[in-house]
Structure 1
Amino acid sequence: MTKIDFSVGSLSSWLAKVVPDAGPIAEVARFKGGQSNPTYLLDMQSGRKLVLRRKPFGDLLKSAHAVDREYRVQKALAQTDVPVAPMLALCDDESVIGSMFYVMDHVDGRILWDPALPEQSKADRGKIYVRMAETLGAIHRVDLTETGLDGFGRPGNYYQRQISRWGRAYRETATVERPEMDWVMKWLEETSCPADDRVTLVHGDFRLDNLIFATGSTQVLAVLDWEISTLGHPFADISYQCMQWRLPQGGAFPGLVGLDRTAHGLPSEEEYLAMYCRAAGISEIPHWPYYIAFNCFRMVAILDGILHRIKQGTAADPDRGREMGKVIPDLLAIAMQQINSFK
């Protein structure tokens, strides 16, 4: 954790009004690792722990860092099968700590960073992947009307809108010239999307280290980082997660390439997709290369945006951001390979 960068006194006064039973703040510390919305642990004198997530300071891209949307979707999911942290309060008054933020209860558990799960038993590795697939399936089965999330995004044309959004963001702030990225964007913009018209809640960043697991078991206690969640097409989430099967081991974005998955008790991509399909209640995912290429493009745009914020001095964790940026050539190579195999 690193130092904080706002007035604890101002935050304490606000908390006393909106979450009075939390008590006074004893200590505030900032979590390391996140690249978007800075996140802080609030240790209260009562022994209770809260978590605060805020927008970054400085100039931001329009619609980026939407902590209000994070708060809204997690609050709506509280009574569903999707595990989320309990939401406490949202503050849109920037005078309190300098930017919009929300506060939630801390979920006590563990975060697993490496998809190879080296510290887990062989038996638990398989169970953890089953729990991930079940959790993603639960997200995609959420009843949008019952949860009040039917207006959480624009239905239809999800991939075209995402390609337009991230392509525009990339072109506005690109840190270097990347001819491969230009070629991938052009292909996506000109190729008819094969997706059907189904609409579900999509997380947008569903991966192992955005889940909190119970200590001592494989139960998923909470899904984190809902910043880019919206209404969209479910295959975007599952294909995003499955990029890890194509990325190298180690680094800031660890993958599973070169690992003997059977020997380690890890599922193949085909086996994991079957787990997900059962959880989501569907039979298959056609046109798979398109969705992998789409997510590689989107991830490059996101990672280059982080590199841009590092140049601006507004990145949450510059060192980790630079490490994450090193995977961009791999992502572009994967995208081009998938495009060449798409029929």
Structure 2
Amino acid sequence: MGVVGLNEDAVSMWIAELGVGALMPLSFERIGSGQSNLTFAVRDSGGGRWVLRRPPFGRLLISAHDVEREYRIVSAVQGTDVPVPKMISLTTDPAVTDTPLVLMSYVYGIVIDDEAAAQQLTPDQRRAIGLSLPTTLARIHRVDLELAGLLDLASTKPYATRQLRRWSTQWEQSKTRDLPDVDSLAEVLSRNIPRQTETTLVHGDFHLNNVIISPEDCHVVAVLDWELCTLGDPIADLGCLLAFWPQRGDRTPGPFTVSTLEGFPTPEELVDVYVRETERDVSAVGFWQVLALWKLAIIAEGALRRTIDDPRNLASSGGPSVEMIDGIVRRAVATADEVGLA
């Protein structure tokens, strides 16, 4: 039985004609715990390795899961000091695939997508990994948009307003039930939008799960999952990182636990490193942390909707549950209270 979502014979032929040295036959395996664009490991008979990405199955919301756009962004960023996989090719050929398909290089390293992976590391390794994240963010935010050819990537209107409008619409189009706290959080965020003073490249989904770490020096060697990348306020990415970085004593930690392990730096240390690297004003980071949690709950609800509509979207590790999404919303509400949003 073949891998669901790929015409293995046609995709193999496409890869063979790219001149990347692939030795037939190729094997394909669905990988990753992500619930958005689907990711596949490709291996050839000589030990060569690559990675494929395609959109999820079923009806997609407008502008969502655009792997062609992701291909453009990562290709542009390759010429900077931001660590990313090499984009090799994009195809929309109906003889190969029924949906856009991207082939990229395989990057060797550690992916910490669950607590078990983090448990294999020493406290010193965890600390080095954690501190490399805000340093990598600073690199992303230093990308020269004009030189990279990304000035026209997205609107330059105030980012928070765009985000609230977009994700409120996504919620209405994908929710599986009513969740009043999602609506009330949108109102709270709308009342507290900070003034945006600059526009940079924004990854949009930057956290520990979406990077590959060098096992030698415990630094980021590749940033993954650029599908939410846009132009906006750089502090939004820092808020996103903090949204995935609860501490052991948090009243409402939410579903993420890796950062509570011994060795990982505190949120304050992450912020301090980012400020040292960029000299930016981060006084509004609490707003962006709440917005990231609110957005994450909506993204997870959309993933839940897609698995209900088409079970082929479900990752091998499972998918979002109502309980998990409710936990994210509770953390968003608690964080809004902690940072003084009212």
**Normalising by structure 2, what TM-score?**
0.89
| CA drift at 1:163 | 0.8
Matched-pair contact (CA < 8 Å) for 1:38–1:55:
yes
Equivalences for 1:1-343 in 2 at 5 Å? 3-19=3-19, 21-114=21-114, 117-189=118-190, 191-246=191-246, 253-255=255-257, 259=260, 264-279=262-277, 281-313=278-310, 314-317=312-315, 320-323=318-321, 325-340=322-337, 341-342=340-341
1:326 is paired with a residue of what secondary structure? helix
Matched-pair contact (CA < 8 Å) for 1:35–1:316:
yes
| CA drift at 1:69 | 1.4
For 1:24, the aligned partner's letter is M
Matched-pair contact (CA < 8 Å) for 1:252–1:320:
no
Inter-partner Cα distance in structure 2 for 1:117 and 1:161: 35
Gaps of 5+ in 1: none
Matched-pair contact (CA < 8 Å) for 2:85–2:105:
yes
CA 1:296–1:79 in structure 2 vs 1: closer, same or farther (change >3 Å)?
Answer: same
Inter-partner Cα distance in structure 1 for 2:56 and 2:71: 16
| CA drift at 1:20 | 5.4
Residues 154-175 of structure 1, C-alpha deviations (whole Å, 9 max, x = no match): 1121111111111001111210
For 1:202, the aligned partner's letter is V
For 2:173, the aligned partner's letter is E
Residues 280-303 of structure 1, C-alpha deviations (whole Å, 9 max, x = no match): x12431133321221121111101
Matched-pair contact (CA < 8 Å) for 2:118–2:258:
no
1:321 is paired with a residue of what secondary structure? coil
Which runs of structure 1 show a deviation greater than 6 angstroms over 4 or more consecutive aligned residues? none
Gaps of 5+ in 2: none
Residues 118-137 of structure 1, C-alpha deviations (whole Å, 9 max, x = no match): 32222222211121111111
| CA drift at 1:214 | 1.7
Inter-partner Cα distance in structure 2 for 1:337 and 1:254: 15
| CA drift at 1:270 | 1.2
Percent sequence identity over matched residues? 31
For 1:121, the aligned partner's letter is T
For 1:198, the aligned partner's letter is E
Inter-partner Cα distance in structure 1 for 2:114 and 2:123: 14
CA 1:293–1:312 in structure 2 vs 1: closer, same or farther (change >3 Å)?
Answer: same
CA 1:214–1:199 in structure 2 vs 1: closer, same or farther (change >3 Å)?
Answer: same
Task: Using the TM superposition, name which of 23-32 and 79-88 deviates more.
Answer: 23-32
**Normalising by structure 1, what TM-score?**
0.89
Over aligned residue pairs, what C-alpha RMSD do you find?
2.5
* Count of aligned pairs between the two proteins: 334
CA 1:204–1:216 in structure 2 vs 1: closer, same or farther (change >3 Å)?
Answer: same
| CA drift at 1:318 | 7.5
For 1:180, the aligned partner's letter is D
Residues 242-269 of structure 1, C-alpha deviations (whole Å, 9 max, x = no match): 01333779x9942368x4x7xx233221
